[in-house]
Structure 1
């Protein structure tokens, strides 16, 4: 079975969002990409008060400096495309008010004809939580649970009724409704996250950081999915963070998806053997502009399909 391929939309500082997001989205769909993705990084602390992912001393990448708001970015791609799914990987859901987030995603799905994929996570940045003012960082797991519950309620039949810590809907009509049930995908990078995934989500959203690691995670998630009594197929979409270089990277310290187009495609082929349904490619801020992003996206896609991926 052919692995589905997606592409991250331009959100970083070198792009003209109003012009480049629709342009890249349209081009990606014409190339053959089946999905388009955004990530969330709400701010860039300067000086850094916390390392990347909460790891002391690990610097934040420059790609996170001034990253465009994800749902606005997806909205810019809606009218420029017709079939590509529009996903978040990930949206730090507890930074958003649950009810308003559910309404926004439902409206976006209705406007796109049923193409939204909601990839949610809890995030790790203390600064982002402090700025958002929705909930304390320590309660992020509980808030994500409430976001999922509110989304299911708001996207379901009217009248909508919900009673939570942050959200109370006595009885109301909430529209527009999504064109179809929006799939919710979650990571599984902790025991609590894995439990939440198999109990409440429609699928899994890992980061591809090595074949052995991805394969081990896949076995764990699929075993837990079956153990929960889930018999429907597990949807799976993996992020591939590319470190593109024009020439092949020949250092012994080469990371997965680092190097030339040929090296990236070879890594993609190896990871695809794990059985994840879909991979999407994030070039981060390597392209100088939208034209270079489109050219690289076309080159990788063509090479991947020629390799049988």
Structure 2
């Protein structure tokens, strides 16, 4: 079976949010992309107080200076499409009040006819936590645990009852309900996060860092699922942050998914062999505008399918 392909929606500053998001979403669905995705970046610290991903000295990409709200972006796409799934890869869970996020996702799922995929992570930016988090950075794992529990409760039957550290629901009717149970997917890179995924989530959201590395992580996750007695399959969606350029990257040092359409498709083929369910391509950072983004996305899709991906 062919690997499903998804596309990252335009959220960065070179795009006109109200016009370009629906336009790109419609075009992607017509092309054949089966899902549309957003990510979350709350702010851009200047001067930088911390490196990208918390790695000292690693600069934040300039494209992070202006990233539109993920749920607003996804809502614009939902209204413009009919079939494509609508995913978050990822929402930084502790930047959201659990009850409000659960209700927003339920409303979006009801409005879109059951198309939402809820992808959560704990994030890494201390500046984002200082500005927006519901609890300190050190408690991020516990916040994510509660958020998952609150979502399951709010999306479940009424009356909803929940007694947590952040959320207290004595007994209430909470609607609208999702059109169907919303899958929860987690980024989950560390040992504790992987246990949380195996025990409490529906799927995994790895990031492409080379086919061998992703394959090794996938093996470890499956082994952990066997150890912990999980019988349900783990849904997998690989995020690819591609760096497109018109001419092929020539020379040593090319990173995966850096280069021309043919080079991106070549890397796609290597990652598709891992056996993951879906690959999400985020091409927006290297496109000048929505027209170029649509063109690149269509070329990648057509060449990928022609290559048997």
TM-score, normalising length: structure 2: 0.99
Instruction: Provide Cα deviations, 1:149-174, integer angstroms capped at 9, x if missing partner.
Output: 00000000000000000000000000
Counterparts of 1:236 and 1:280, CA distance in 2: 10
Is the CA contact 2:186–2:204 (under 8 Å) kept in the aligned structure 1?
Answer: yes
Change (3 A) 1:306 1:195: same
Counterparts of 2:293 and 2:245, CA distance in 1: 13
Give the equivalent residue in structure 2 for 1:180.
180
Give the equivalent residue in structure 2 for 1:128.
128
SS of match in other structure, 1:254: coil
Give the equivalent residue in structure 2 for 1:116.
116
Give the equivalent residue in structure 2 for 1:139.
139
Counterparts of 2:7 and 2:238, CA distance in 1: 11
Counterparts of 2:3 and 2:36, CA distance in 1: 15
Counterparts of 1:235 and 1:252, CA distance in 2: 35
Give the equivalent residue in structure 2 for 1:223.
223
Is the CA contact 1:63–1:284 (under 8 Å) kept in the aligned structure 2?
Answer: no
Matched, 1:171 2:201: no
Deviation at 1:224, TM superposition (A): 1.1
Counterparts of 2:72 and 2:135, CA distance in 1: 22
Counterparts of 1:75 and 1:285, CA distance in 2: 21
- Give the 5 Å matches for 1:259-298: 259-298=259-298
Give the equivalent residue in structure 2 for 1:152.
152
Deviation at 1:133, TM superposition (A): 4.1
Give the equivalent residue in structure 2 for 1:100.
100
Deviation at 1:225, TM superposition (A): 1.5
Counterparts of 2:246 and 2:187, CA distance in 1: 32
Counterparts of 1:254 and 1:94, CA distance in 2: 35
Deviation at 1:308, TM superposition (A): 0.2
Counterparts of 1:11 and 1:193, CA distance in 2: 27
Is the CA contact 1:188–1:221 (under 8 Å) kept in the aligned structure 2?
Answer: no
Give the equivalent residue in structure 1 for 2:238.
238
Across the aligned residues of Structure 1 and Structure 2, the Cα RMSD in angstroms comes to 0.7
- Give the 5 Å matches for 1:63-78: 63-78=63-78
Instruction: Provide Cα deviations, 1:262-293, integer angstroms capped at 9, x if missing partner.
Output: 01001000100001110010113211110100
Give the equivalent residue in structure 2 for 1:194.
194
Deviation at 1:226, TM superposition (A): 2.1
Change (3 A) 1:56 1:32: same
Is the CA contact 2:94–2:133 (under 8 Å) kept in the aligned structure 1?
Answer: no
SS of match in other structure, 1:117: strand
SS of match in other structure, 1:6: strand
Counterparts of 1:230 and 1:195, CA distance in 2: 11
Counterparts of 1:300 and 1:3, CA distance in 2: 14
SS of match in other structure, 1:79: helix
SS of match in other structure, 1:285: helix
Give the equivalent residue in structure 2 for 1:52.
52
Is the CA contact 2:284–2:293 (under 8 Å) kept in the aligned structure 1?
Answer: no
Deviation at 1:123, TM superposition (A): 0.2
Counterparts of 1:63 and 1:192, CA distance in 2: 31
Counterparts of 2:58 and 2:93, CA distance in 1: 24
Is the CA contact 1:187–1:205 (under 8 Å) kept in the aligned structure 2?
Answer: yes
